[in-house]
Amino acid sequence: MQILVINSGSSSIKFQLFNMPSQEVLCSGLVERIGLEEAHITYKKSSEKFSQTTNIPNHKIGLKLVAEYLLDTKIGVINSTDDIIAVGHRVVHGGSSFSDTVEITSEVKKEIENLFSLAPLHNPANLQGIEVAEEIFTKAKQVAVFDTAFHQSMPIEAYKYAIKSKYLEEHNIRAYGFHGTSHKYVSQQAIQYLGTENSQNIISIHLGNGGSITAIKNGKSIDTSMGLAPLNGLIMGTRSGDIDPSAIFFLQEKLGLEGQKTSQLLNKESGMLGLTGFSDMRDITAAAESGNTSCKEALEMAAYRIKKYIGSYTAALNGLDAIIFTAGIGENSTVMRQLSCANMNTFGIELDNEKNIERSGDIREIQASSSKVKILVIPTDEEAEIANQAFELVK
């Protein structure tokens, strides 16, 4: 069964075609700079890579170009769009409406649209990708996999805010959490690797340009650092993470910032970018090693925030069997892993520095022999998880 996975962003379309249930990747690629001059598509099949710069004014043209590559007589992998049995779509915000993967109907699309205000950068693009895929892959079942779904198992004490209850009841203002597809995937990998008895209490740390940390008990999310939107929690590439609301009120009053400008400041101009002038962890690490005190300080701040969450989530879990580092920074930054695990021996967390600098594409343990807690580096694969969930729904 062939399942196409689509991650539709505001100006991009990331795609992978899987043969299920073997999870064989038949091809993958990225359409980027949609609507801008010199838009670009990259297409990979086995060890071959093809690219093209062309005019791609909108997502419909972009996805049609993807279909052309899939159908190409020389480098394509399907004979007809009807070969695609299902299209799995990443949808960032599912609100309280979706706690599991669903087949997309007109009602589902309407609810995704109703949640535009909670994820204005993501849900509109996600919905656009769905509607275009419906036009191109007419025989395929369209399936939505929600980033928020994994966190719907959180108890009310974790997701409810201490404001008037009517705001939750009437406007759905609560913590939802994000990166759920990644947290679910790596935690399941950890459970299979460690065994059920040794993985009852897990903390998953997803570190990319966006970052979040999740407490997972017996395979279920019980708390996570992101809230109503993907701004809260850890210090990220351009997002502030946790900040005293009073600081926001002060900025608005003193600088005359309106709501949209404040959102721009906290989402696009803060985090590591605001602290250092860089948003890429590789640039920040290199500058810190060259003596840049702002970059060194920012790394310490980011790690300190992670350590605070590890401590609080260990309490919430009432124990800790393993922590997981995943995503671009979590998998590749030896510095962030080292800083995040430093002086954590009271929690049974002790890093082996030599193991930490090793490279591997597989699950690996990097804890010291004296560590009571397993420290795992697990490569995430959100596309594979979306394909798995779509397959389970339609098989």
The residues that are catalytic are 147
The H or E element containing residue 88 is strand 84-91
CA 82 to each of CA 105, 134, 141: distance values in angstroms, whole numbers, following the listed order = 19, 12, 11
Q: Cis before residue 379, ω within 30 degrees of 0? A: no
Pairing type for strands 141-146 and 84-91 reads parallel
CA 367/CA 334 separation, integer angstroms: 13
Task: Name every residue whose Cβ is closer than 8 Å to that of residue 11 and which is 6 or more positions away in sequence.
Answer: 32, 33, 34, 35, 36
* Residues paired with residue 27 on neighbouring β-strands, in sequence order: 17
What are the tokens at 223?
């708390």
Q: Give the three-state DSSP class for 59.
A: helix
Task: Name every residue whose Cβ is closer than 8 Å to that of residue 366 and which is 6 or more positions away in sequence.
Answer: 337, 351, 352, 355, 356, 358, 375, 376, 377
DSSP annotation string for 129-152: HHHHHHHHSTTSEEEEEETTGGGG
CA 59 to each of CA 54, 55, 56, 87, 118: distance values in angstroms, whole numbers, following the listed order = 13, 11, 8, 16, 22
Q: Give the three-state DSSP class for 339.
A: helix
256 neighbors 265 (Cβ within 8 angstroms): no
Counting Cβ atoms within 10 Å, is residue 188 exposed (0-12), middle (13-18) or buried (19+)?
A: middle
Task: Name every residue whose Cβ is closer than 8 Å to that of residue 365 and which is 6 or more positions away in sequence.
Answer: 355, 374, 375, 376
280 C-beta neighbours (distance < 10 Å), count: 15
